[in-house]
Amino acid sequence: MDFTFTEEQQAAVETAKAVFSTVTPDAVPSPALTPGAVSEDLDRPLWSRLAAADLLSLVVSPRHGGAGLDPVALCLVLREAARVLARVPLLETSAVAMTIERYAPEHTAAALLPRAGRGELVLTAASQGRTGHDPAERAVTAHRDGTDWILDGLQTAVPWAHGADLIAVPAHTPEGRTALALLPRAHEGLGLAAQYSTNGELLAELRLDSVRLDGTDVIDAEGAWEWLRGMLTTGTCALALGLGEAVLTMTSQYTGKREQFGHPVATFQAVAVQAADRYIDLRAMEVTLWQAAWRLACETEAPLPAAGDIAVAKIWASEGVRRVVQTAQHLHGGFGADTDYPLHRYHAWAKHLELSLGPAAAHEEALGDLLAAHPLG
């Protein structure tokens, strides 16, 4: 078996590193220092640089102006984005774009994907449901009215919605299926209320009151929402991995310089053991992430569906990134709470990633259901 990344995937990583090298975590707005939202919009200059480097079209097929790479390549780039706390909806736009290409009619894909790849169209997804714990597809209803669709309901904690052009909203139909509506941000019957994440980013509560959409704006294909949710969850794991790796590097540098009793604290057994435990967490997060991304990329047959591997990756990502930032705060001592130092920003972002798309306990329950439905052996 060959576990190395392809030349194209490695090239994407090098391009991402070059683009994100312009981002300084110290300059990322701090939720501890900013009342309300840290910003009203995404980082538009960085978004333009990502478009110029063809990273927004990375997973779009060549016929729509993209590179045609797979979820593994996207996760590699997302890992680099999280290292510097990049304030862009790279995950959401890429995941929705991939879903449109796979499940939407060709004319819809042709109209949207080239613009998304050029950075002209920002995409996001409503994936948290009403509370962040219940299924997102149950929070909105959709029924047909002739060739149109009528949507009613509420979605909470939608990332980047105030700056997005299209929001992918899952909704359940009277037949028990899930449709995926591509909803313009400014649309009759749609209301957006401000919410705030733990990292200070502006989220939105979406209220849909008899929103009418043309049939061409709704993806009614079987499996579209499930695939999008899986890609969003896997991408969140990639963000957690990149953030955790940056925090552990920061911690090793600090403990290597900080001295007590005439020796660097990194040489103390209690410190070294804690850092080693967090390194093991990161390696477990990494291997489970690539397993989930590979399952999405190749769709191979296995005793468990890809959702099982995705659940395992999210369990490790949620628990692992929490343990990494907690240990980092402990080993930094009071310095970790200094708002002139970037660690508190990483801690706030880690909490957001830990709870996004469900905490570890929710995915443990989902994994148990899958194991019960697909007995192994």
For the stretch 306-309, contacts whose Cβ atoms lie closer than 8 Å and that sit 24 or more positions apart, written own/partner, are 306/230, 307/226, 307/230, 307/366, 307/370, 308/367, 308/370, 308/371, 308/374
Q: How far is residue 296's CA from residue 308's CA, in Å, rounded to a whole number?
A: 11
For the stretch 41-45, contacts whose Cβ atoms lie closer than 8 Å and that sit 24 or more positions apart, written own/partner, are 41/162, 41/163, 42/87, 42/88, 42/89, 42/122, 42/160, 42/163, 43/86, 43/87, 43/88
* DSSP states along 127-160: -STTTSSS-GGGSEEEEEETTEEEEEEEEEEEET
Q: State the virtual CA torsion across 244, 359, 74, 300 in degrees, nearest 10.
A: 120
Q: How far is residue 77's CA from residue 95's CA, in Å, rounded to a whole number?
A: 13
Closest CA to 233 of 135, 304, 372, 155: 135
pTM: 0.96
- What are the pLDDT tens digits along the chain (377 aa)? 567 899 999 999 999 999 999 999 988 999 999 888 999 999 999 999 999 999 999 999 999 999 999 999 999 999 999 999 999 999 999 999 999 999 999 999 999 999 999 999 999 999 999 987 789 999 999 999 999 999 999 999 999 999 999 999 999 999 999 999 999 999 999 999 999 999 999 999 999 999 999 999 999 999 999 999 999 999 999 999 999 999 999 999 989 888 788 888 887 899 899 999 999 999 999 999 999 999 999 977 888 899 999 999 999 999 999 999 999 999 998 888 888 899 999 999 999 999 999 999 999 999 999 999 998 76
